[in-house]
Amino acid sequence: MPATRVVVNIPGEVPYDIRIGGAILDGLGEHLRTISALAAAPQLLIISDSNVAPLYLARAKASCAQAGYRVSDIVVEAGEESKSVTVAGELWEAMAALGLTRDCAVVALGGGVVGDLSGFVGSTYMRGLALVQVPTTLLSMVDSSVGGKTGVNLEAGKNLVGTFAQPRYVCASTDTLATLSDREWACGCAEIAKSAAIDSDQFFFWLLEHSDQLRSRDTATVTEAIARCVTFKANVVAQDKTESAGVRECLNYGHTLGHAIETLAGYGTFSHGAAVAEGMRFAARLGQRLLGTSAELVSTQDELLDALDLPVLPWRAPAAEMLAAMKRDKKARAGAVRFVLPRDVGQWEAVAVDDGVLLEALEAWASDPSVGR
């Protein structure tokens, strides 16, 4: 099957391709030679993590070497802890020691952690090298590898330091997903469900119809889901490259409650996807209170999330603690907590929710009778 191609065309940026296909990792080097900013790069640095490198680094290196590139690699510890200023500093020093110059390129081989970290060091070293994203998790294929946000975490919070830097190419080699755990798979599914609900009826009901195939990792369905997600995200980013026009905010659907759950339950207790899915369920119900969102949307979305193995979260915290956690979130502006709420499938609104209204909704959520049955 030929690779599926989606072009990302952001005003003021060089357009770039996302290719999605079976074993396209083996054609990585050859493809880089066709991209003008990368064709003559004297050296490529592949950054990967300790889980992904043993699985896919040799293939990536072989493909680039075969295309005549000089290739170096650095492997960081797998996990969110590597998205730190300390690791970024080590990478900058290593890049200098390798003699990387401005015409070299950085290739991120891994999930969103490697993508964000490599994008950050690549876009800042010598004021910016060309970047290539080779996402290997479902979440990074459908979301984080596209749109140009890079970053590292601080003690004070996630993603507090970063850049906007678009990649020159995104290579989603879907064969790499074969080794992904079910937990990480569900994380990607949550972002797909989020994109579908915000995007359109066509995407949402297609996903509902194909949820069994997506859960069972059917190749054609996975490829189509990735293509639909990146097309959606590319359109959003094209309208709001730097998250200043209010459009990109829609990508936070499910994340306001989701982040509070991750904070209060402790990072890693539940997967990010499970927390976001719970956040989507909550936001749809909040939409019922505030925007007249239909009961049908709420139940259909529940059905979709159940079908994608993202069941109701068996965890609750007191409403006041949830509200306090939301207020501490960096995305909360001064005053009321903001939620992306669905008015209908494909129609959303960002709403600053009054504390009293939010507390009531959180109390209803905290005493949900379906939890713990």
Ligand X SMILES: NC(=O)c1ccc[n+]([C@@H]2O[C@H](COP(=O)([O-])OP(=O)(O)OC[C@H]3O[C@@H](n4cnc5c(N)ncnc54)[C@H](O)[C@@H]3O)[C@@H](O)[C@H]2O)c1
Q: Is there a catalytic annotation at residue 217?
A: no
Judged by CB, which is closer to ligand X: 106, or 361?
106
How far, rounded to the nearest angstrom, does the alpha carbon of residue 216 sit from its chain's CA centroid?
A: 21
Question: Could you tell me how many residues of this chain bind ligand X (CB under 6 A)?
Answer: 30
| Distance from the first to the final alpha carbon of the chain | 46
Q: Could you write out the DSSP letters of every residue in 241-277?
A: TTS-SSSGGGGGTTHHHHHHHHHHH-TTSS-HHHHHH
Q: Which of 19, 61, 228, 233 is catalytic?
A: 233
Q: Is there a catalytic annotation at residue 235?
A: no
Q: How far apart, in whole angstroms, are the C-alpha atoms of residue 258 and residue 242?
A: 23
Q: Which of 255, 285, 316, 338 is catalytic?
A: 255
8 A C-beta contact, residue 233 and residue 147: yes
Q: How far is CA 297 from CA 247, 277, 280, 292, 326, in A?
A: 22, 14, 11, 11, 25
Q: Is there a catalytic annotation at residue 149?
A: yes
> Angle between the 272-291 and 182-199 helix axes, to the nearest 10 degrees?
30
Q: How many helices (H) and strands (E) does the chain have?
A: 15, 11
CB under 6 A: which stretch of 179-187, 291-299, 301-309, 355-363 binds ligand X?
Answer: 179-187
CB of 367 to ligand X, least distance (A): 31
Judged by CB, which is closer to ligand X: 29, or 111?
111
8 A C-beta contact, residue 110 and residue 52: yes
CB of 300 to ligand X, least distance (A): 25
Say which residues have a Cβ less than 8 Å from residue 79's Cβ, sequence separation at least 6: 49, 113
Residue 179 touches ligand X, criterion: CB under 6 A: yes
Within residues 42-101, the interface with ligand X by CB under 6 A covers 49, 51-52, 55, 78-80, 83
CB of 358 to ligand X, least distance (A): 24
Judged by CB, which is closer to ligand X: 73, or 143?
143
Residue 159 touches ligand X, criterion: CB under 6 A: yes
Q: Which of 259, 285, 316, 338 is catalytic?
A: 259
Residue 258 touches ligand X, criterion: CB under 6 A: no
CB under 6 A: which stretch of 137-145, 218-226, 292-300, 310-318 binds ligand X?
Answer: 137-145
Judged by CB, which is closer to ligand X: 251, or 353?
251
Mapping DSSP onto H, E and C, the string for 72-98 reads EEEEECCCHHHCEHHHHHHHHHHHHHC
Say which residues have a Cβ less than 8 Å from residue 306's Cβ, sequence separation at least 6: none
Q: Is there a catalytic annotation at residue 33?
A: no
Which helix (H) or strand (E) segment holds residue 43: the answer is strand 43-49
Residue of 113, 222, 227, 313 that binds ligand X (CB under 6 A): 113
Residue 180 touches ligand X, criterion: CB under 6 A: yes
At residue 160, the 3 state secondary structure works out as strand
Q: Is there a catalytic annotation at residue 158?
A: no
Residue of 123, 133, 173, 176 that binds ligand X (CB under 6 A): 176
- Contact residues toward ligand X (CB under 6 A) are 49, 51-52, 55, 78-80, 83, 110-114, 116, 136-137, 139-140, 143-144, 147, 149, 158-159, 176-177, 179-180, 184, 187
Kindly list the catalytic residues.
127, 149, 191, 233, 243, 248, 252, 255, 259, 272
